Structure 1
Amino acid sequence: MSSTTSSPGAKIQQAVTDKLPHLPETKEELKAEIKAEAKAAASAGASQLRSFVAGGFGGVCAVVVGHPFDLAKVRLQTAEKGVYTGAIDVVKKSIAKDGLRRGLYAGVSAPLVGVTPMFAVSFWGYDLGKQIVRATSTVAPDGNLSIAQISAAGFFSAIPMTAITAPFERVKVILQVQGQQKLAPGEKPKYSGGMDVVRQLYKEGGVRSVFRGSVATLARDGPGSAAYFAAYEYIKKALTPKDPVTGEASGKLSLGAITVAGAGAGVAMWIPVFPIDTVKSRLQTAEGNVTIGGVVKQLYRAGGYKAFFPGFAPALARAVPANAATFLGVELAHQAMNKAFN
């Protein structure tokens, strides 16, 4: 037997040794490893904090741009048949009744207050999700995540976000629907604002009432966020300037390309989950005790599959400018923080 041939026992010993964690042999080596680990932890923490801040700023941009579209969507989803002929009719009647500002921004206080932490948690969750994916799966040699891995990170981002999204959307849709109700002379609306909605919901059914629709919200936002971030990263990669010879990225993505990627991500998010959003809106605005199954049956009896898609056009119309504004705001916030702290 050749001296260069390893015995089976030696091979097993080497395999076990390879699996064991590296133990520092000197104090200097131990200090260096601790310092490197602390630096990596600090870098990961800073990355998550920046994602949190940038996501919050992007969310504010989304609300300012997209709320009128969202209001039209919710009113179409929850109105009785024949109340509106379409999204334009919602806008006309809302402005005629309450003026331009109140007519198009009814219920905006809830998303403005809630959207900053909501989007902040979403982008923080996405950043954390990517770190978890890198730690638990095989990543390409260049460090880029696959579309499937990005989708997994996107789905993860919806889990912590639901705790914020569900109650704030419950308040928002209630105020939006209240704005379309006709009041008798001298009659006051049931709710005077967002906090009054929360107080009355809590009084009527406790925390469970405030958080009604949480399961439907997660059922919408889980796959929606997976599609959202995957589409954004895919479009960004497709629009990034590349070297014609090597095919490698040769320049930075323009703000215009980021805007296009954000708009595409918004459309990609809404298409697969819109029926779930309709169920969620109905569930969160219904009186009394209702269930997801009951809402689904009621919608199907009322109009078949088409009953799950009222407001689909304004939702897609909103998705383009609102999500373009979101990602543009996020990228600008990241650039500003990089200049300030790097």
Structure 2
Amino acid sequence: MSSASSEPRHTAGAAVNETLHAALPASVAGKLPHIPESKDELKADAKAAASTGLAQLRSFVAGGFGGVCSVVVGHPFDLVKVRLQTADKGVYNGAIDVVRKSVAKDGLRRGLYAGVSAPLYGVTPMFAVSFWGYDLGKTIVRSISPVNPDGSLSIAQISAAGFFSAIPMTAITAPFERVKVILQVQGQKKLAPGEKPKYSGAADVVKQLYREGGIRSVFRGSAATLARDGPGSAAYFAAYEYLKRKLTPRDPVTGEASGKLSLTAVTCAGAGAGIAMWIPVFPVDTVKSRLQTAEGNVSIGSVVRGLYAQGGIKAFYPGFGPALARAVPANAATFLGVELAHQAMNKVFN
């Protein structure tokens, strides 16, 4: 009975596959998913799908852990960058002056980690979604374009997958970035005797923003965030993969990989990826920071015109040095955290 019932499924699956391949051009039919023609094929497909889902879950978890490492190491640098980007001309003489004044006003911990609660609460899902989106992006790229004979992707394909990772991430990044920069900028405002800060914390920022302008106010700067993170992520993952390949030990005769990438090499590749991410998108980040901290209703165009009127092209690069200084340790910590998380999960589940 079981063999008789499985035969029609086999015949039906084969008939559908044959019909599709006969009716469509080979270039199109070759990219269609194969319909299982037997129980064994169905089981194999289900096992492959479960394996892919598990790999994406691991990417999600590892990305979250890497993000926490990034915030702990990089937040002081990010605070300096944002304050330089948003302060009026003449408030600070440079990055060291920001650190000196912040520590003198609020102490070492509060002075350098103002606004850290928002990225800490948001960074786990933000980086988790980024690395999950990157893993999913690679799967999509493999399904629509030819890959190398060994199954690896080209740097251009890696870049495309990196750009895709920014799309789902923006939904989380934009509101948390808005809260973070508001709290960071609030910390540099001089208060009159007895005056209290406008916001008491991240939750209070969200509550007041929503009261003032609804969900649209909370998500202000989403377009600018995507404009920064799309090309930034493309450069980020492409540079990381390129540096990994260059740093991987290879046989001098065959050119084939002859060993695993060391954690030191992972750290160096992560640092280089962070620099590659910031160089092309820093002016967009400045616009985003200004847009998200401005009072009232402002547009991207008005922010761009205002910045250019203040100091030309140079006005788009305040805090560029601290951003690159942050990129090295923060992104080295990110990829080191991701790699260590993967190693730990491999020991537990493999």
Partner of 1:104: 112
Partner of 2:161: 153
Give the match's secondary structure for 2:38. Answer: helix
Read off the aligned partner of 2:153 and give its amino acid letter: L
Q: Find the aligned partners of 1:131 and 1:22 in 2 and give their Cα distance.
A: 16
Partner of 1:133: 141
- 1:258-296 deviation digits (Å, cap 9, x = unpaired): 000000000000000000000000000000000000000
- 1:218-252 deviation digits (Å, cap 9, x = unpaired): 00000000000000000000000000110000000
Read off the aligned partner of 2:180 and give its amino acid letter: K
Partner of 1:45: 53
Q: Find the aligned partners of 1:209 and 1:23 in 2 and give their Cα distance.
A: 47
C-alpha displacement of 1:168: 0.1
Q: Find the aligned partners of 1:243 and 1:147 in 2 and give their Cα distance.
A: 22
Q: 1:211 aligns with which of 219, 237, 251?
A: 219
Partner of 1:267: 275
Read off the aligned partner of 1:145 and give its amino acid letter: L
Read off the aligned partner of 1:183 and give its amino acid letter: L
Partner of 1:231: 239
Percent of counterpart pairs with the same letter?
A: 83
C-alpha displacement of 1:125: 0.1
Q: 2:75 aligns with which of 63, 67, 80?
A: 67
C-alpha displacement of 1:22: 6.7
Q: Find the aligned partners of 2:143 and 2:322 in 1 and give their Cα distance.
A: 40
Partner of 1:142: 150
Q: Indicate the RMSD between aligned Cα atoms, in angstroms.
A: 1.4
Q: Find the aligned partners of 2:288 and 2:101 in 1 and give their Cα distance.
A: 24
C-alpha displacement of 1:140: 1.0
C-alpha displacement of 1:16: 3.2
Partner of 1:58: 66
Q: Find the aligned partners of 2:286 and 2:177 in 1 and give their Cα distance.
A: 13
Q: Which runs of 4+ in 1 moved over 4 A?
A: 17-24
Q: TM-score, normalised by structure 1?
A: 0.93
- 1:12-55 deviation digits (Å, cap 9, x = unpaired): x9x8398588777xxxx611000010011001100100000000
Partner of 2:253: 245
Read off the aligned partner of 1:196 and give its amino acid letter: D
Q: Find the aligned partners of 1:167 and 1:16 in 2 and give their Cα distance.
A: 50
- 1:41-80 deviation digits (Å, cap 9, x = unpaired): 0011001000000000000000000000000000000000
Indicate yes or no: 2:311 matched with 1:279: no
Partner of 2:7: none
Q: Find the aligned partners of 1:249 and 1:82 in 2 and give their Cα distance.
A: 53
Partner of 1:337: 345
